[in-house]
Amino acid sequence: MTGKGIGYPVAQLAHVELFTPKPEESLWFFRDFLGMEPVAQEGQSVYLRGYEDNYTYSLKLTERDKPGLGHVAWRTFSREALEECARRLKDTPYGLGWSDGDLGHGPSYRIRTPDGHPMELVWELEYYTAPDGQRSQLKSRPQKRPLRGIPVRRIDHVNLMCKDPVPNREFFMDQLGFLWRESKLGEGGVEVGAWLSVSAIVHEVAVMRDRLGLGNRLHHVAYWYGYPQHIFDVADTAPDYGITVETGPGKHGTTQAYFMYVFEPGGNRVELFGDNGYLIFDPDWKTIVWDVSNEVDLERSSIWFGGKLPESFYTYGTPHPEVPAWVQRRVS
Amino acid sequence: MTGKGIGYPVAQLAHVELFTPKPEESLWFFRDFLGMEPVAQEGQSVYLRGYEDNYTYSLKLTERDKPGLGHVAWRTFSREALEECARRLKDTPYGLGWSDGDLGHGPSYRIRTPDGHPMELVWELEYYTAPDGQRSQLKSRPQKRPLRGIPVRRIDHVNLMCKDPVPNREFFMDQLGFLWRESKLGEGGVEVGAWLSVSAIVHEVAVMRDRLGLGNRLHHVAYWYGYPQHIFDVADTAPDYGITVETGPGKHGTTQAYFMYVFEPGGNRVELFGDNGYLIFDPDWKTIVWDVSNEVDLERSSIWFGGKLPESFYTYGTPHPEVPAWVQRRVS
Amino acid sequence: MTGKGIGYPVAQLAHVELFTPKPEESLWFFRDFLGMEPVAQEGQSVYLRGYEDNYTYSLKLTERDKPGLGHVAWRTFSREALEECARRLKDTPYGLGWSDGDLGHGPSYRIRTPDGHPMELVWELEYYTAPDGQRSQLKSRPQKRPLRGIPVRRIDHVNLMCKDPVPNREFFMDQLGFLWRESKLGEGGVEVGAWLSVSAIVHEVAVMRDRLGLGNRLHHVAYWYGYPQHIFDVADTAPDYGITVETGPGKHGTTQAYFMYVFEPGGNRVELFGDNGYLIFDPDWKTIVWDVSNEVDLERSSIWFGGKLPESFYTYGTPHPEVPAWVQRRVS
Amino acid sequence: MTGKGIGYPVAQLAHVELFTPKPEESLWFFRDFLGMEPVAQEGQSVYLRGYEDNYTYSLKLTERDKPGLGHVAWRTFSREALEECARRLKDTPYGLGWSDGDLGHGPSYRIRTPDGHPMELVWELEYYTAPDGQRSQLKSRPQKRPLRGIPVRRIDHVNLMCKDPVPNREFFMDQLGFLWRESKLGEGGVEVGAWLSVSAIVHEVAVMRDRLGLGNRLHHVAYWYGYPQHIFDVADTAPDYGITVETGPGKHGTTQAYFMYVFEPGGNRVELFGDNGYLIFDPDWKTIVWDVSNEVDLERSSIWFGGKLPESFYTYGTPHPEVPAWVQRRVS
């Protein structure tokens, strides 16, 4: 075994940076509504964590004029895996060079997807140590569950909109060690989406076709609850706090996830993930293929329960040419 | 209306007053942990409400040297029902006279159970009007669901410990119009508990034998969630915030309730109620009788799932002769 | 007792008769998919019960050439209430005369709504006694929970489509003692729907405007689970068994119900009800009014979570002029 | 990377064989109560599967005079991994030689734990293909969800009782590539339990000290639901079908699992697993250590919510010297 089967060099999603033009409102959303803990503020950025995130933070929220993806950080399996990958990528268009690190982590190697999404690979990550009075007796929980909002447990995955999913999927597979778990084919067998993972969950990353043809955009970042009731709690609470629900709660065919999609006030789409969908242990997994040019697969892959995803699900990403009014709606 | 079939003169449980020797910690528990809204403070009392309580408040929390029951307030079906009941009780040991009312309600007629539990009957109750920015668009919800703690929806019922449940059950039935829904008989057919209601829920009040023989004590007040996950959320969060769980989550045979019992920091037992158990619509209901002198009924009536209620469930009430250390434990 | 406040003369929904042109498939749906127990077969009818229905059955399923409502049976508060109501109605267009009873119940007085929906009032109802080996130790449960399908617990309510809801609402209130819990007003303040109950639940009956203008049709009958997961289980299982989901799972603003609507193979719409919504204990309840001519109320009253009910929800009822293909779809 | 980090050579738990002295009753339990599908019968064995198990079966149920573990089958990462491991073990006491395979799989290499638990390593496994009419449109689900019992989704893990957990833990780590996720230390720092996995879940295997000192016994096999309500459904249904609940539903501190333990009629303990607990993505995981000689860890690691596991949890395993009456109880 040469170790590329499971996630070599990438072991896990470490954190995501989001840009927001409304930093205070976005902070309110993640801190007060989703119960995340702000752990630091530096420059134009606030760093936040879910109460079961292992490292210092999983979200860096940075003020910018437009919403979008700052970067995605992947932890490698080892220091050697990081260095070997950096060497391999440095003479390609995808290797962008080393950075000195950031709050809570050491040097990272900056890369980008073929589509242009900024990412970094990192090995050294600080574990979170809660301040006195905030430690949990539950040893797999780095801090107490907060008494604020409907608190998310940890970051789960990221979904990237691409001009063409294929080269991006191949990049994740060939360069970063991801396995291809599920696939959607559209008219003429054209690949319109891929779900990839380096662990038993169905995806730490998905790449989906950007119907606007722009590419290099963020579709969503997902946080995990593990219990479906909590996405119902979000749904029940969202309307009164002016949070726009795009769709859900529901269950995807792809990944079997109990999903819910909302927009944080800065305009980025956020998924709340209610269970684990299904897990993959098979070391010889055959990629699941949905042929969404036929009606049954189309309907079932999107929402297993029946129903359709709204048009915006296929066209809206951040940054968006013009942010629609319905994304920003605050009912107060 | 002279209808005694359903709850004449009493229509519903309006609020409960609890005494606490630790007013700040108790306030923390109800406000920050159970997400209740403090609506007023007067003298030694704070008034709080669940976000789906209809009237101004459902809990009056009053500082005293010992925990226990301040009083239980029942709303009557009408002004006439209140006045007629007052006339009927005034020459009995149970009628204690009129009071001028309190925050959020008009004149009440003070009564007591045969065991001595202080109660009042009231007709005029103010509906809650949330301040600007706190109103819900969900018209059956008087305020937004709070983003604090694991918020309870409304008050559900109260459970009273009695020297002998029989006269107290009869008082609720004969004088207040309660219907006898479930019953537990112990050795020799002795009645050890009764569950009574004036509506489709199995009980707004229960009377249970006080094994210490003291009587006139509070067993618990119950708040309602409606979704079982939320009592699991309480259970998951309680240990890290120093809240003692007496027992649960579990499911009672009696009432079919998904229950959980904790002690608020002042020492009073509080039940969190996860669903509705079952509802009773039959106008000719035959009281369900559990013979808890036989082993099967004993086991099943307490915890349908199996398991036993702890000894404290039968002996601890407030005020308690000496508050056990385990009730007060704060793990920090 | 002359009490008209709560449900005089009607105390509860006893059972519903549904017509089906596909008796075997409909029986499969209720027995094998919803886990109901067939207790008898007589003529063209099968009688079924949920495992927490109190009386012999709650559903009479009768073969007919078209789907639709056979009748709705209401239990009165007493024999006297039944007789008094029969006397009161006999010289009106709504009183149709006595019948000799049916399986599991004594004489009933047949009535109809102003719109024409057949109903009956009954006092004598037999309690269900499970055969040996089928009795539950849970004394509020008349039979064991079946190990078949996703078993419903009991009948909950019925929803009737009317040419004009107003006279039908008034009939339920004035003649049968229902209380008006929620209301929807459309353009020009025209009443388009009303939710009425004789107990703490928000409705045992709803009357809604039939957009096709036909009237005297069934919108749906609802069965109750009490736990939201079970409607997700239905949703998860339905596609593979060829059961058409019209909409849901979701949460209504009106009634706060966790709902899901499916079509049984005979064409009748069936709601599966996941929780209890909210309960009403206030004896002086002010009818909640949704002005669905304004956009916020329209959106929120239908689906609190966001989203819209499909057009069919307003136009499809049984019998239907022509049953659409999507109702009958069996994917198998 | 030499590929031992994640599960080399073992990739996943494939199936478990259980012995039962009551084959018909055990079959009833797995097929009718837990909704598993019998796929074949051969000799004294029936093969069953959960509806989301990938391979032909996950349980081989074999008649024997005593309950206990037939064997545990682990799938390796590849054919080479299997062969290399066989070569490595063949001159140790743990390598027992090749077998020709069994229903649904090719040749396996038979091994045993230091304690003696029979296991096998296998690469070739047939995927399950449902018969016509039983296929699901949900492509990650190999068959329709059954309409029978409270159907489990897939096998999750196995827990082995050992004279001394240490050499057995080391065997799983050193020879089979398992990672050490959680640990319990008793008096004097003695290791009393270890939880190990080859994937993101906390354990596919646990080894726990056998307090009777017998060793080479089965503690339990676990099946997975993913939704906590379903273990409540099991709990709600078990008493009436004569199934003994040992403990739960509850939540372990170790693994964070929503657990429930019952005994199948043959006497083997079966865990029903309600969620996923937490998942581990950290490639450099530091084993969590509970010091169960101190009271807080003891209490919290067993049941995070509070409460204690019964004594039988530590002493009962299969085969058991004498099966206690409470394991066999059928209330019927």
* pLDDT digit string, tens, across residues C121-146: 999 999 999 999 999 999 999 999 99
**Nearest CB to B305: which of D228, D235, D304?**
D235
User: So what's the pLDDT on residue A3?
Assistant: 38
Tell me what ipTM this predicted complex has: 0.96
Query: What gap in Å lies between CA C145 and CA D220, rounded to an integer?
Result: 26
Residue C326 has pLDDT above 80, yes or no: no
Contact across the interface for D296 and B247, Cβ inside 8 Å = no
Q: Which of B138, B237, B332 sits opposite A133 (nearest CB)?
A: B332
Going by the DSSP 8-state scheme, the letter that residue B55 receives in this structure is B
pLDDT digits (tens, 9 = 90+) for A6-57: 678 999 999 999 999 999 999 999 999 999 999 999 999 999 999 999 999 9
Sequence-distant (≥ 6) Cβ neighbours of residue B50 within 8 angstroms:
B34, B36, B37, B58, B151, B152, B153, B154, B155, B223, B224
- In angstroms, rounded to a whole number, what is the distance separating the alpha carbons of residues C60 and C18? 6
For chain D, give the number of residues: 332
List all chains that touch chain C, counting a touch as 3 or more CB pairs closer than 8 Å.
A, B, D
User: Helices (DSSP H) in D71-131: which residue ranges?
Assistant: 79-89
- Whole-angstrom CA distances from C150 to C228, C232, D35 are 12, 10, 12
Closest CA to C326 of C232, C274, C271, C261: C261
Bigger pLDDT: C7 vs A121: A121
Which chain B residues are Cβ-neighbours of C227 within 8 angstroms? Answer: 228, 275
For residue A251 the two structure tokens come to: 């269950």
pLDDT of residue D56: 98
Q: How far is CA A216 from CA A96, A160, A164, A195, in A?
A: 16, 7, 10, 17
pLDDT in tens, A181-220: 999 999 999 999 999 999 999 999 999 999 999 999 999 9
* A5 pLDDT above the threshold of 70: no
C239, A304: Cβ pair inside 8 Å? yes
Alpha carbons B181 and B179: distance in angstroms, whole number? 6
User: Is the Cβ of A136 closer than 8 Å to some Cβ of chain B?
Assistant: yes
Structure tokens at B13: 């449980």
Return the half-sphere exposure (C-beta side, CA atoms, 13 A cut-off) of residue C229: 21
Q: Indicate the pLDDT class of residue C308, thresholds 50, 70 and 90.
A: confident
B/C interface, count of CB pairs below 8 Å: 132
- Position C218 scores a pLDDT of 98
- Looking at residue B201, its pLDDT comes to 97
pLDDT confidence of residue D329: 55
Provide, as residue numbers in chain D, all residues whose Cβ is less than 8 Å from the Cβ of B296: 331
CB contacts < 8 A, A to D, total 130
Dist CA D131 CA C205 (whole Å): 44
Q: What is the pLDDT of residues C14-40, one digit of tens each?
A: 999 999 999 999 999 999 999 999 999
Name the residue among B133, B149, B240 with its Cβ closest to that of A144. B240
**How many CB atoms lie under 10 A from the CB of residue C322?**
6
**Interchain CB distance below 8 Å, A236 and C300:** no
Amino acid at the residue B216:
N
Q: How far is A227 from chain B (nearest CA, A)?
A: 8
Q: Determine the residue of chain D that is closest to A256 in CA distance.
A: D140
Question: Tell me, what's the pLDDT at B85?
Answer: 97
Are C283 and B226 in contact (CB < 8 Å)?
no
Cis omega (within 30 of 0) for bond into D249: yes
- Report the 10 Å Cβ neighbour count for B213: 10
Q: What is the pLDDT of residue A6?
A: 63
Please give the distance of CA D83 from its chain centroid, rounded to a whole number. Answer: 24
pTM, 2 dp: 0.96
The pLDDT of residue B325 is 73
Contact status of B304 with chain D (Cβ, < 8 Å): yes
Chain B contact for C3 (CB, 8 A cutoff): yes
- Counting as low any pLDDT under 50, the low residues of chain D are 1-5, 331-332
Q: Are B49 and B39 in contact (CB under 8 A)?
A: yes
Closest Cα in chain B, distance from residue D307 (Å):
7
CB contact (8 A) between residue C227 and residue B275: yes
Distance CA D57, CA D47 (A): 6
Provide the pairing of β-strand C59-63 with B288-291: unpaired
Angle subtended by helix axes C228-237 and A228-237, to nearest 10 = 110
Q: C138 to chain D: which residues are within 8 Å by CB?
A: 239-240
3-state secondary structure of B187: helix
Closest CA to D284 of B194, A124, C142: A124
Q: Do the chains contact at A306 and C238, CB–CB below 8 Å? A: yes
Tens of pLDDT, residues C207-243:
999 999 999 999 999 999 999 999 999 999 999 999 9
| CA–CA distances in Å: residue B48 to residues B28, B45, B59, B102, D155 | 11, 10, 5, 14, 47
Of D145, D229, D240, the CB nearest to C144: D240
Q: Which residue of B has its CA nearest to C301?
A: B138
Nearest to residue D210, comparing CAs of D328, D93, D117? D117
The alpha carbon of residue D302 and the mean position of all alpha carbons in its chain are separated, in whole angstroms, by 18
Q: What percent of chain D has pLDDT over 70?
A: 96
Find residues 20-39 of chain A whose CB sits inside 8 Å of chain D.
none
With CB atoms and an 8 Å threshold, state whether C240 touches D137: yes
Omega prior to D165 cis, within 30 of 0: no
Percent of chain D at pLDDT > 90 equals: 92
8 Å CB contact of A305 and C251:
no
Distance CA D323, CA D316 (A): 9
Q: Write out residues in chain B with pLDDT < 70, as ranges.
A: 1-6, 326, 328-332
Among partner residues C5, C7, C12, which is closest to B1 by beta-carbon distance?
Answer: C5
Q: How high is the pLDDT of residue B323?
A: 73
Would you state the pLDDT for residue D322? 82
Name every residue whose Cβ is closer than 8 Å to that of residue C10 and which is 6 or more positions away in sequence: C74, C75, C76, C77, C121, C176, C177, C178, C198
| pLDDT of the residue at B247 | 94
Give DSSP secondary structure letters for A48-95: EE-TT-SBS-SEEEEE-SS-EEEEEEEEESSHHHHHHHHHHHTTSTTE
CATH numbers and ranges of domains, chain B: 10-125+151-323 (3.10.180.10)
**Tokens in use for D126?**
């047939």
List, in order, residues 6 or more apart from B215 with CB less than 8 Å away: B115, B116, B161, B162, B163, B164
Tell me which chains share at least 3 CB pairs under 8 Å with chain A: B, C, D
Tell me how long chain C is: 332
Chain B 197-256, CB below 8 Å of chain D: which residues?
Answer: 228-229, 232, 235-236, 238-239, 244-245, 247-249, 251
Confidence of residue C306 (pLDDT cuts 50, 70, 90): low
Quick one: closest CA in A to B141, which residue? A240
* Residue B54 and residue C282 in contact, taking contact as beta carbons nearer than 8 Å: yes
